[in-house]
């Protein structure tokens, strides 16, 4: 196996992180519902994921996985009290969201409603939030996701609080269970006609 290392990323790495997340999430069930056209989905995901990575680099913990010199995996962790995003942080993401609107004007309302539904479903107790975990398709099944999760959970466990995640891919559930997550929110629709999500929580260390 080539050299695999996990490093914290900064805002300078946001574009590269966004590209990895866009590639890894291109066929993600929620995004297939919200943006059925694959070409539109590509135009939408890059600015959105780049903005999300930049936000987490400032307000949370943005972790990157490198194989040799290539960034191939990214994890977005929000600390307790930092998700849902404040009005100011959402405003800073407006340029990226405008690009989403321009690329997908018909389905953007569904995308926005889905995001609002996830915010309403967020736990009331303080938790770390795994906002996104993505591995580039060319680097999957090589231990990258496990290395990223282990690094992130070490940060979480040092805080002695629980952590939470949402996924719209049922195939992910068994994987996260192996890392101590339990299903705490059975499948629920993220807004009218929205994708189905599942909430999972890992107890505090």
pLDDT tens digits, one per residue of 19-28: 999 999 999 9
CATH of the domain at 190: 3.40.630.30
Q: Is the pTM of this model over 0.75?
A: yes
Q: What percent of the chain has pLDDT over 90?
A: 96
State how many domains the chain has. 1
Domain span at residue 149 reads: 4-202
CA distance linking residue 91 with residue 55, whole number of Å: 11
Closest CA to 9 of 65, 49, 47: 65
Model confidence at 192, in pLDDT bands (50, 70, 90)? Answer: confident
Q: What percent of the chain has pLDDT over 70?
A: 99
């Amino acid at each position: 196996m080539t050299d695999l290392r996990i490093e914290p990323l900064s805002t300078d790495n946001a574009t590269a992180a966004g590209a990895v997340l866009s590639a890894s999430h291109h066929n993600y069930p929620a995004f297939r519902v919200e943006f059925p056209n694959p070409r539109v989905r590509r135009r939408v995901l890059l600015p959105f994921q780049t903005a999300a990575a930049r936000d987490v680099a400032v307000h949370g913990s943005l972790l990157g996985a490198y194989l040799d010199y290539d960034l191939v995996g990214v994890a977005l962790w929000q600390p307790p009290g930092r998700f849902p995003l404040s009005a100011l942080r959402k405003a800073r993401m407006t340029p990226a969201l405008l690009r989403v609107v321009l690329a997908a004007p018909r389905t953007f309302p569904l995308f926005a409603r889905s995001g609002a539904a996830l915010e309403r479903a967020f736990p009331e107790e303080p938790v770390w939030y795994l906002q996104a975990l993505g591995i580039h398709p060319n680097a999957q099944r090589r231990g990258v996701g496990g290395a990223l999760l282990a690094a992130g959970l070490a940060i979480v466990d040092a805080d002695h609080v629980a952590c939470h995640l949402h996924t719209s891919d049922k195939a992910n559930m068994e994987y996260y269970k192996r890392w101590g997550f339990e299903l705490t929110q059975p499948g629920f629709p993220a807004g009218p006609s929205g994708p189905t999500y599942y909430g999972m929580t890992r107890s505090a260390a």
